[in-house]
């Protein structure tokens, strides 16, 4: 069965510093991986995805993620954090049974400190 894990409930970073939000995955074949962001009392918004190809994926709002097959990781990164990046971030993996569902991690709350 596929799953994702987000080992950190909370990440704090100073404005202007680089940020990393961690995600590891477990799948039996090639993974389809996603990052979503949620602002307070809102639905989730798609940031980026990895299907195949380059291990470094670029997405919305200056975010990128690095796929590492040997470490089964898909960490979200941004070179310079903004206060407006403060939100809840979810990693997800696509169901490989053909139903196209997503399995989500438990989320990481990112706080960017001015």
Partner 1 sequence: DGGITQSPKYLFRKEGQNVTLSCEQNLNHDAMYWYRQDPGQGLRLIYYSQIVNDFQKGDIAEGYSVSREKKESFPLTVTSAQKNPTAFYLCASTGRVSGANVLTFGAGSRLTVL
Instruction: List residues binding partner 1 (CB under 8 A).
Output: 9, 32, 34, 36, 41-46, 49, 51, 90, 94, 99-102, 104-107
What is the smallest separation between the CB atom of 16 and partner 1, expressed in angstroms?
A: 29
* DSSP three-state, residue 79: coil
Question: Cβ closer to partner 1: 17 or 106?
Answer: 106
Question: Cβ closer to partner 1: 9 or 54?
Answer: 9
What is the smallest separation between the CB atom of 32 and partner 1, expressed in angstroms?
A: 6
Neighbours of 59 (CB within 10 A): 18
Strands 10-14 and 108-113, sheet pairing? parallel
What is the smallest separation between the CB atom of 9 and partner 1, expressed in angstroms?
A: 7
DSSP bridge partners of 103: 93
Question: Cβ closer to partner 1: 12 or 106?
Answer: 106
Angle at the Cα of 44 (from 75 to 2), degrees rounded to 5? 50
What is the smallest separation between the CB atom of 66 and partner 1, expressed in angstroms?
A: 18
CA distance 114 to 105: 27
CA distance 58 to 98: 26
């Amino acid at each position: 069965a596929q799953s994702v894990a987000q080992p950190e409930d909370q990440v704090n970073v100073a404005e202007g510093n680089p940020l990393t939000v961690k995600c590891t995955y477990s799948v039996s074949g090639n993974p389809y991986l996603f990052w979503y962001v949620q602002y307070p009392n809102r639905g989730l918004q798609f940031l980026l995805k990895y299907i195949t190809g380059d291990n470094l994926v670029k997405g919305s709002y200056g975010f990128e993620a690095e796929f590492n097959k040997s470490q089964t990781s898909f960490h979200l990164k941004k070179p310079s954090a903004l206060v407006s990046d403060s939100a809840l971030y979810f990693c997800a993996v696509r169901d490989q049974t053909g139903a196209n569902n997503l399995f989500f991690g438990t989320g990481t709350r990112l706080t960017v400190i001015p």
